[in-house]
Structure 1
Amino acid sequence: MRAGVVFNPVKLSRDELAPQVETAQPLEWSEPVWFETDPDDGGEAAVRAALDAEIDLLIVAGGDGTVRIAADLITGTTVPLAIIPAGTGNLLARNLGIDVTSLRTAMRTAFEGEEREIDLGELELESSDGTRSRHAFAVMVGFGLDAEMIEATDEELKKKVGWLAYVDAAGRVIASLDKVRVQVRMDSRRTVRQTVNTMVIGNCGTVTNGIVLLPDAAIDDGLLDIALIRPRGARGWLQVAGYITRNNLLVTKLLRRRGHLGKQRTGAALGYGQAKETVARLLEPRAVQVDGDVVGDAVALRATIREDALVVRVPKKRAGRGPAV
């Protein structure tokens, strides 16, 4: 048995990772093979090289972008994916209950954790000139506040204060966020026309710093969860904030985990839905983010779900439980 380690040297060096791998991997395993990511391709070449090496476990140490690329490329193989969180958001790791604060614990999960099958989303975008592009996603995609916030985030500030840089960016863009007319169809249901600030499509529901945005989302339910944020003025934004605050109360999380709460209710400022396929067409182009990376502007998008597409290593105590409270 042998592991392949794909690592982003900007996030974690081989010197930092090697002692943890040596300590955590079983004695009977062979020496791991190492692959450094290239910023020009986001780590795609490194992941492909690791899979070509006929490994038995792919360990990815990096941010959400590197993890997303690895998740896309590893589907269709029998190799499980282990995540060593090394980014700002570490969104997929959070939703799987992987420790984002301890390199040692995350590495032990890589070798000793249980295997869990999860879904993977697929997004097709159409730009204003008709060009189309495809992007896999493990967590969330969308346009509006999340995409504009990511674009406005100061990278130097993010290096210093981490996720708090997103709060700073959100405060700067929320007042100037433009509404857009959008046509949305979920599965074979009728097309809905609305004016929104933000649309989020998620494979799972927890975002930066453990905040629950899509409370009904489950990473292995074969469904996408959709949120349409459509506040009217300051009062509408207060309603949105109220929804999110209630969903993040400890008692709410515990009741939902134990199955005592029904589906999230839709209100005037925030609408929810679930579907296997979601198609949206915008009257004007908007920037779109995929798992925390802005990938370009689009006038139309189509999101689908690939059920049980990916096998990941998760902590034994949280296997099948979803994200940590």
Structure 2
Amino acid sequence: MTARLSDRRIRTVALLTNPVAGGGRGDRVAHRAAERLRSHGLEVDSLRGSSAEESLDLARQAIAGGVDALAVCGGDGMVSLAVQAQAFTGVPIGIIPAGTGNDLAREYGVPLDSPEAAADVVAGGRVEQVDLGRATPDGGAPHVFASVLCAGLDSAVNRRVNEMTILGGPLRYVLASIIEFPTYRPRRFRMTFDPGEAGEETVEAEVLLSAFAITRSYGGDMMIAPDADRSDGLFDVCYVGRISRLRLAWHFRRIYSGTHVGLRGVTTRRCRAVRIEAQDVEAFADGDAVAPLPVNVEVLPGAGLFLVPRSLGHH
């Protein structure tokens, strides 16, 4: 699908920072980005949330105040907070990467190693309209996300990553996988795809891991959904059934290149919505906990806006 791109004139930017992102790099990275944004003649309002709740409140206040762009300095979880405030508002999000995985920055072509170059993307004003996802637990509040919702071994790994204090970057995901993999057992899943539509289908299967993807990667560049199109109105679904540990370990590295698709035991499909049910499984999205299953998940077509480099071609 052709990328939906437009140009904006950016004059005012709210820069929301996770001060503990990247092991405490967040503040330093944000300072460099703010200086660069000001060098472009932009007015920058620097915001720091001491918790996820405070950060979300600050993001909502900035958008309600009429800011031209909301830039976030942190990782995928911080971007996820931003999209919960931004969805359907017309205010674009800029990413200043400072997290562990930085999958969303990578997806949108934002430079990972230079806060100044990332700030230049924000100032450039090129906006891409994309899909978001929304997960609603039974009896719970909806949770908007920008990349991948996962449930199974991958969400257990995510929980472990968020609790770890050693290592940094994608290596943390590798170590967490090594820790969780030997003892994790597949669960019985019931997945109802496109419920209420003519093509509704229910699948019951033993599932080791599952991903429902707007974008292509999670876990620090694991290409779980290599063909995902972030503006086609569909999730790319990938789930792995009961396979031997030896076989999974042998093929694990293929997730980084996306060549796991098509292997025996790996199922892929697309859908607009899905209800996911299983016992003792937690759903994670954009690297953060959503809720224990069951969860209803749906695509929000065109709900997201991201500032992207002018050289970025839609994959």
Q: Could you tell me the TM-score, scaled by structure 2's length?
A: 0.86
Distance change (3 Å), C-alpha of 1:101 and 1:196:
same
Native 8 Å contact 1:240 1:269 kept in 2:
no
What residue in structure 1 maps to residue 63 of structure 2? 51
AA aligned to 2:14 is: G
Counterparts of 2:18 and 2:12, CA distance in 1: 20
Counterparts of 1:40 and 1:117, CA distance in 2: 25
Q: Give the CA RMSD over aligned residues.
A: 2.3
AA aligned to 1:99 is: P
1:179 alignment partner, one of 162, 186, 189: 186
After superposition, residues 214-253 of structure 1 pair within 5 angstroms as 214-238=225-249, 240-241=251-252, 243-244=254-255, 247=258
Question: Mind listing any 5+ residue stretches in structure 2 that lack a counterpart?
Answer: 1-10
Question: Mind listing any 5+ residue stretches in structure 1 that lack a counterpart?
Answer: 250-263
1:133-155: CA deviation from partner (whole Å, max 9, x where unpaired): 32111111121111111222352
Helix, strand or coil: the match of 1:146?
Answer: helix
Native 8 Å contact 1:59 1:82 kept in 2:
yes
Distance change (3 Å), C-alpha of 1:280 and 1:107:
same
Counterparts of 1:312 and 1:109, CA distance in 2: 10
1:61-87: CA deviation from partner (whole Å, max 9, x where unpaired): 122222111112112222211111111
1:24-63: CA deviation from partner (whole Å, max 9, x where unpaired): 457554x322221121516111102212332111111122
Counterparts of 1:209 and 1:268, CA distance in 2: 24
Q: CA deviation at 1:111?
A: 0.7
Q: CA deviation at 1:107?
A: 0.7
1:191 alignment partner, one of 193, 199, 202: 202
1:76-110: CA deviation from partner (whole Å, max 9, x where unpaired): 22221111111101121111111112111111111
1:305 partnered with 2:299: yes
Q: Could you tell me the TM-score, scaled by structure 1's length?
A: 0.83
Native 8 Å contact 1:38 1:46 kept in 2:
no
What residue in structure 1 maps to residue 140 of structure 2? 132
Helix, strand or coil: the match of 1:191?
Answer: strand
Q: CA deviation at 1:312?
A: 0.9
After superposition, residues 64-83 of structure 1 pair within 5 angstroms as 64-83=76-95
What residue in structure 2 maps to residue 253 of structure 1? none
AA aligned to 1:176 is: T
Distance change (3 Å), C-alpha of 1:16 and 1:226:
closer
Counterparts of 2:313 and 2:180, CA distance in 1: 38
**Identical pairs, percent:** 23
